C-alpha cells in the first residue's frame, strides 16, 4: 500500500483552491446580470408602448370609419349639417375628431376625418364623394 504524506504547503494549496469566488468575479457577475436585466426591462417598456399605440390606432380607425359611414348615409348636398353626428362613446374620453368637407369642381367633395388621442393625431381618413 502506498502512503502519501501531504506537507503543509500542499494542504494550504488545497484549501486555497476551495475558498470560492473572489470579489472581482462576484462584481463582474453582478455587472453582467445588471446589463441583462436592464436590456430585458427596456424591451418590455418598448413593447408596452408599441401595444398602446397599436390599440389607439385600431380604435381611431374604427371611429373614423364610423364617422365616414355616417357622412355617406347623408344624401349628397352642397353643405352638411354634421351636428347630428353621433357622439363618441363614453369610454373614448381621450379621443376627438375633426371632419372637413372640401368642395371640388364638378360636384365632387373631399371628405377628411382626423382622429386625435390626447391631442396627437393618430389616424387620418380621406374619401371622395360625387353626385352621380
Beta bridge pairs of residue 74: none
Query: What residue segments make up the domains of the chain, in order of their start?
Result: 25-75+82-130
Q: What is the rounded CA–CA span in Å between residue 122 and residue 97? A: 10
3-state DSSP of the chain: CCCCCCCHHHHHHHHHHCCCCCHHHHHHHHHHHHHHHHHHHHHHHHHHHHHHHHHHHHHHHHHHHHHHHHHHHCCCCCCCCHHHCCCCCHHHCCEEEEEEEEEECCCEEEEEEEEEECCEEEEEEEEEEECC
Render the burial of 78-109: b for 16+ CB within 10 Å, e for the rest.
eebeeeeeeebeeebeebebebeeeeeeeeeb
Per-residue pLDDT of the chain (132 residues; tens, 9 = 90+): 667 676 655 555 555 555 677 889 999 999 999 999 999 999 999 999 999 999 999 999 999 999 899 888 888 877 777 777 778 877 888 898 899 988 888 788 899 999 999 999 999 999 998 887
Whole-structure pTM value: 0.65
Q: Tell me, what's the pLDDT at 19?
A: 63
Amino acid at each position: 500500500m502506498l502512503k502519501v504524506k501531504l506537507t503543509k504547503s500542499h494542504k494550504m494549496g488545497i484549501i486555497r483552491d476551495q475558498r470560492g469566488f473572489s470579489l472581482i468575479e462576484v462584481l463582474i457577475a453582478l455587472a453582467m446580470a445588471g446589463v441583462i436585466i436592464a436590456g430585458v426591462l427596456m424591451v418590455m417598456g418598448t413593447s408596452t408602448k408599441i401595444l398602446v399605440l397599436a390599440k389607439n390606432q385600431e380604435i381611431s380607425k374604427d371611429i373614423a370609419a364610423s364617422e365616414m359611414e355616417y357622412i355617406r348615409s347623408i344624401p349628397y348636398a352642397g353643405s352638411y349639417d354634421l351636428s347630428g353626428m353621433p357622439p363618441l362613446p363614453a369610454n373614448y374620453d381621450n379621443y376627438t375628431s375633426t371632419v372637413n368637407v372640401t368642395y371640388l369642381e364638378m360636384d365632387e367633395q373631399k371628405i377628411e376625418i382626423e382622429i386625435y388621442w390626447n391631442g396627437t393625431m393618430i389616424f387620418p381618413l380621406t374619401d371622395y364623394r360625387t353626385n352621380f
